[in-house]
Amino acid sequence: MDIAIAVGDVRGPASAAEITSQIRTAADAGFSSAWASQAFGWDPLVLLTAAGAIPGIGLGTAVLPVPQRHPLVLAGQALSVQAATGNRLTLGIGAGIATMVETAFGLPGDRPVHRMREYLTVLKPLLRGETVDHHGDTITAVGAAHVPGATPPPVLLAALGPAMLRLAGELAEGTVTWMTGPKTLAGHIVPSITNAAAAAGRPAPRVVAGLLICVTDDEAAVRARVAGQFALAGQVPEYRAMLDREGMTGPGDLVIAGDEDKVARRLDRLRDAGVTEFMAAPYGTAEEQDRTTTVLAGMTSRRPNP
C-alpha cells in the first residue's frame, strides 16, 4: 500500500506558498502522490499545475465534482495539466454531494449513477483525443480536446454505493473514498469494485482511501475537535451511510488518531482491507500536522506491499 498526502483546503486555509511547501515536503519525503480536492476555495487543477515544477511525486484530484464541469471543458483542463506536469495527473472525479449540487449550483442531483455513466462515456474518449458527437439524455457534447504532449490520465471515480461502485469497476481505473473506514472498505468497497472490474474484463482497480489523520498524545481531544469541525459531514446521506456501515457515530470516531504505534496499526488495517493507496489528510495545528507528516514519511520506505 502506497502512502500519499492530501494538500490544500482539506488541511485548512493555506496560501499558494504554503501548499507548494506541503507538496515539496511530500515529494522529498517519498510520498507516492499529492492529492487536492475541490470545495469552494482552491481549484485543484490550477493548484496541481502550479505544483508541476516539483519533481518526483504523482499528482491527483480527490475529487472534482463533475456536474459543474462539462466533459469537453474538463477534458481540456485535465489534458492541459498533463502536458504541464509531465503526465503525472490522476483524475479523480465524482457526482458531488447531491444537496450541494442542487442548492449551491442549482443543478440537478437526481439519478447520479445514470448521469455519471453518460458523463464517463463522453469524457473517456475525449481524454484519448477522440472526437465525440454525443446527444444523450443528460449531456450534449460535440467536439474534441487536443493538447500536444498530453497522455490520457487514469480516471478514478468516487464511489460509495453499490451501483456507483459497479460503474467505477466497469468504466474507471479505480475509486477514491473519503470518510470510509477499514471495515467498510474490506467488506463493501474493495470487493464490489474488484468484482465489477473482473466482470468487465478490466485490470484490478486502484482503491485510494482518504482519511483525516493525527499523530498525537491526546487522542480524545483530537477526536472531539474533529467531531465538532466535521459534524455536518456526518449528516450528509452519502457519508452517513458509510459511518453506519462502520458502526460509528460520526467523523470523530473515524479519524486515525493516536501515538505512532496506534497509527501504524490503523494503516495496517487499511492495507489488509485491500487499499492500494492511503491518502493521508494531516489534521490539526501546524505542529500536529508536521509531526504526523514526519511519522508517515518514516513509514513510506519500510511499509511492505501486500
Burial 97-112 (b: 16+ CB within 10 A, else e): bbebbeeeeeeebeeb
- Could you give the C-alpha distances from 121 to 29, 33, 64, 250, in angstroms and in order? 38, 27, 17, 35
What pLDDT is stored for residue 301 in this prediction?
57
Q: Mean pLDDT by 10-residue block, N- to C-terminus, for the chain (306 residues)?
A: 94 91 94 92 92 93 95 98 97 86 77 96 98 97 97 98 97 97 97 98 98 97 96 86 94 96 97 98 96 94 44
Beta strands 132-135; 140-143: pairing state: antiparallel
What pLDDT is stored for residue 213 in this prediction?
98
Residue 282: strand, helix, or coil: strand
What pLDDT is stored for residue 239 in this prediction?
87
CATH number assigned to the domain covering 2-300: 3.20.20.30
In angstroms, the CA 298 to CA 291 distance is 11
In angstroms, the CA 299 to CA 290 distance is 15
> Is the Cβ–Cβ distance between 60 and 7 less than 8 Å?
no
Query: Which amino acid is it at 227?
Result: A
In angstroms, the CA 207 to CA 224 distance is 28
The three cell numbers of residue 295 are 511519522
What pLDDT is stored for residue 176 in this prediction?
98
Q: Characterise 258 by phi-psi region: left (phi > 0), alpha (psi -120 to 50), beta (else).
A: left
Q: Quick check: bond before 63 cis, omega within 30? A: yes
Instruction: Of 178, 168, 85, give the one whose Cα is nearest residue 124.
Output: 168
What pLDDT is stored for residue 195 in this prediction?
98
pLDDT in tens, 127-166: 999 999 999 999 999 999 999 999 999 999 999 999 999 9
Question: Which DSSP helix (H) or strand (E) runs through 101?
Answer: helix 98-104
> Is the Cβ–Cβ distance between 193 and 168 less than 8 Å?
yes
